[in-house]
């Protein structure tokens, strides 16, 4: 069955349910409760939570956020032209 035909059938079913009065629309409280229940259910799987935590940690360390290229350690330690080195003792 094509996607278009499947969507048309679903659309007709939705309209019929609304006309009949058996359709349900979530209000914000019901949606919040459903999201909370899903979060509680997912967080019970400690192995899954550990996996996604590690993936997030790797992502944030790799510099995927912010600038596209992090400065190299050598470049960040060298003073700009005309500046003194930060830890020089000229006393």
Task: Return the beta strands (E) in 1-91 as ranges.
Answer: none
Measure CA 89 to chain center: 47
pLDDT above 70 for 19: yes
Model confidence pLDDT, tens digit, residues 23-61: 888 899 999 999 999 888 888 899 999 998 899 888 877
Residue 11's closest CA among 29, 28, 23? 23
pLDDT at 43: 86
Per-residue pLDDT at 16 exceeds 90: yes
* Whole-angstrom distance, CA of residue 46 vs CA of residue 14: 38
For residue 62, count CB atoms less than 10 angstroms from its CB and return exposed for 0-12, middle for 13-18, buried for 19 or more.
exposed
């Amino acid at each position: 069955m094509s996607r278009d035909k499947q969507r048309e059938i679903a659309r007709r079913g939705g309209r019929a349910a609304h006309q009949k009065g058996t359709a349900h629309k979530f209000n914000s409280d019901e949606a919040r409760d459903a999201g909370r229940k899903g979060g509680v259910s997912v967080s019970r799987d400690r192995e899954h939570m550990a996996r996604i935590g590690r993936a997030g940690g790797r992502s944030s360390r790799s510099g995927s956020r912010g600038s596209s290229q992090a400065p190299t350690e050598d470049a960040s330690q060298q003073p700009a032209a005309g500046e003194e080195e930060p830890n020089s003792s000229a006393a």
